[in-house]
Structure 1
Amino acid sequence: MGIMNITMSRKEILFRICATVLLVLTSCLVGFGHQTKVLFGVITKKATFRDLNSLYVLVWIDTAAAAYNLMQLLFRGYFKKDLSRTSYLYLAWGFYILDQGVVYMVFAATSSAMQGSMLGVTGEKSFAWMKVCDKFTRFCFQIGGALACGYVATVLMAIISSMSAFNLFRLYSPKQFLRLKPSPRR
Structure 2
Amino acid sequence: MRETLPEGAHLRPIQMTVNGTQQALDVLPWTTLLDLLREQLDLVGSKKGCDHGQCGACTVIRDGRRINACLTLAVMCDGAKVVTVEGLAHGEKLHPMQRAFITHDAFQCGYCTPGQICSAIGMAYEGRAETRVDIREQMSGNLCRCGAYSNIVAAVEEALPLMKEQNS
Q: Compute the TM-score of the two structures, normalised by the length of structure 2.
A: 0.27
TM-score by length of structure 1 reads 0.25
Which protein is bigger by CA-based radius of gyration? Answer: 1
Question: Would you tell me which structure has more strand in proportion to its own residues?
Answer: 2
Q: Which has the higher contact order (CA 8 A, sep 6+)?
A: 1
Q: If each structure's helix is expressed as a fraction of its own residues, which one has the higher value? A: 1
